[in-house]
Amino acid sequence: MKIRVATTNLHKLEEISHILSPFGIEVEKLEAEKTEVQHEDVAVIARKAAESLCRHYGDFTVVEDTGLYIDALSGFPGPYAEYVYRTIGIEGVLKLLSGVEDRRATFTCAAAICISGVVKVFTGSSRGVIAERPRGTGGFGYDPIFIPEGYTSTFAELGVEKNKISHRARAFTALGVWLSKEFKY
């Protein structure tokens, strides 16, 4: 089975491929402009984008959206995580948290797939804390500053272990389980 993921982020595509390979699902990059509605819930954003792409690209079209919700910042940057990363980066986020003791945060991923004109959304979350400084060379985005619960290492330090426990792993594993049951391949 093959799915097409609408993303320009090759790191995400690689992670998704790694997560879904045990299910026998191949991942292909879909060159498509996604519609991004403004909403605080990444599941709503992914659903709307998938509904739009479904009309043009058909079945097995997948859209992924991720948010980083930092408790001390009232959930900021939330669904605007990519924009914040591009504009102020990790250092900017760490500056916002300078002197803040409560560094708890949640990464949430929504994976929306279109089949027969119907969009189904799978979500996954990882609870953790924001590190005091960037650590590790693996991963991408906020991986050097996110330490998942139960670990002392950042996602960037965990390597492929991240693909077993991350928000994206949880969302896409749920998608893989559903596809394998629904289509019994």
Alpha helices in 28-74 (DSSP H): 42-57
Q: Are the C-beta atoms of 175 and 112 separated by less than 8 Å?
A: no
Question: For tokens 């990464």, what's the residue?
Answer: 107
Catalytic residue at 65? yes
Catalytic option among 41, 59, 65, 71: 65
User: Distance between CA atoms of 34 and 79, rounded to whole angstroms?
Assistant: 15
CA proximity to 114, closest of 41, 23, 14, 32: 32
What residues contact residue 134 under an 8 Å CB cut-off, 6+ apart?
90, 94, 144, 145, 154, 156
Please check whether residue 64 is in contact with residue 36, taking contact to mean a CB–CB distance below 8 angstroms: no
* DSSP alpha helix (H) spans, 38-183: 42-57, 81-87, 89-96, 155-158, 162-165, 167-183
Annotated catalytic sites, by residue? Answer: 65
